[in-house]
Amino acid sequence: MEKIVIVGAGGFGREVKIIIDAINEIEKKYEFLGFYDDGFAIGTHINGYPVLGGIADLNSVKDSIAVTVALGNPQTKSKVVNQLLNSNLTFPALIHPSVIISKDYVIIEQGCIICAGNIITCNVKIEKFTILNLSCTVGHDTTIGAYSSFMPSVNISGEVKIEECVYVGTGAKIINQLHIGKGTIVGAGAVVSKSLPENCTAVGIPAKPIKFHTNE
* The predicted structure's pLDDT at residue 215: 66
| Rounded Cα–Cα distance for residues 30 and 47 (Å) | 17
What average pLDDT score do residues 64-83 get?
97
Q: How confident is the model at residue 5 (pLDDT cuts 50, 70, 90)?
A: very high
pLDDT over 80 (residue 83): yes
What average pLDDT score do residues 44-62 get?
95
| Rounded Cα–Cα distance for residues 202 and 205 (Å) | 10
* The predicted structure's pLDDT at residue 216: 59
What average pLDDT score do residues 9-29 get?
97
What average pLDDT score do residues 178-199 get?
98
Q: How many Cβ atoms from other residues are within 10 Å of residue 82's Cβ?
A: 9
- β-partners of residue 95 are 114
* The predicted structure's pLDDT at residue 214: 81
Q: Where are the strands (E) in 30-182, listed by range? A: 30-36, 45-46, 49-53, 65-69, 89-90, 94-95, 100-101, 106-108, 113-114, 119-120, 124-126, 131-132, 137-138, 143-144, 149-150, 155-156, 161-162, 167-168, 173-174, 179-180
Query: What average pLDDT does the chain have?
Result: 97
pLDDT over 70 (residue 110): yes
What average pLDDT score do residues 116-120 get?
98
* The predicted structure's pLDDT at residue 129: 98
pLDDT in tens, 190-214: 999 999 999 999 999 999 999 998 8
Helical residues (DSSP H) of the chain, grouped into ranges: 11-26, 55-58, 74-83
- In this prediction the pTM is 0.96
* The predicted structure's pLDDT at residue 118: 98
